[in-house]
Structure 1
């Protein structure tokens, strides 16, 4: 049985510094990817609208109150983005059956189609990027991201 090797605190600090640097690069790349994805859907679609659209599509429906809470955005910002998504034909709005004061937002078939295409493209890019990793390495990375997301 192998004896565990003691890790020096300085080594851990260096490794954590590297992790933070790379996370910052991932966040910057993610913002760029959101911007590119929004522009592929429509040149006028803003990143905030893209993020709302992807949430609505994955949830299958949402209302403005849920979106404001989820994304910590002011309701007026949500309202403008929802209006833009409706004008672009990406979402539909109907009264909530349980509470007529609320509007239920659902993705249009066109939005579902374009988002599925974007997801396929993103998955293909990710497969190319991680092609040199083993399944165990991918699972370890996934675990790290899951733990970070739970903080």
Structure 2
């Protein structure tokens, strides 16, 4: 294991270099997958709107303000994406029951169904990729991704 106080060995440096290389490839593949997934939902859907839509779907309901904070996006950008999602029939907006000045966004049933189909397809692909790994190896990979997500 490579600790922050440990002197890195050549093998450790090579392993870290390989990890960085593969992370870059995963990020590139993720961007491609987002584009493909957005296009499957609607040809006009942009990647930014797709990411917001998936978050709205998983959250159940959310305000535009919460989206801007969560994704560290300018409110005007979120507003444009929300308008596009509404125009495409992917989300609905209604007044917040607690504060009528705010709007709550929810995914439409058709958007939820399309996203559920995408998640199933992505799950099938992931299972195929990790089919040769042991549960312990999958847990180890999951731990690495969890730790990286907390950085």
* TM-score category, normalised to shorter length: over 0.9
CA deviations 1:29-70 (Å, max 9, x no partner) are 000000000000001000000000000000001101000011
2:43 aligned with 1:43: yes
Q: Cα RMSD over matched residues? A: 1.1
Q: Counterpart in 2 of 1:121?
A: 121
Number of residue pairs the alignment of both structures matches:
145
Per the alignment, residue 15 of structure 1 pairs with 15
Q: Give the secondary structure class of the aligned counterpart of 2:28.
A: helix
Give the distance between the partners of 1:35 and 1:102, measured in 2 at CA.
30
The offset of 1:98, in angstroms, is: 1.3
Structure 1 segments unaligned to the other structure (5+ residues) = 1-6
Distance 1:22 1:69 in 2: 29
* Structure 1 segment 112-151 matched on structure 2, within 5 A: 112-151=112-151
SS for the counterpart of 1:94 is strand
- 1: CA distance, partners of 2:76 / 2:69: 13
Residues 8 and 62 of structure 1, relative CA distance in 2, 3 Å threshold: closer
C-alpha distance in 2 between matches for 1:55 and 1:122: 16
2:111 aligned with 1:111: yes
The ranges of structure 1 where at least 4 consecutive aligned residues each deviate by more than 4 angstroms after the TM superposition are none
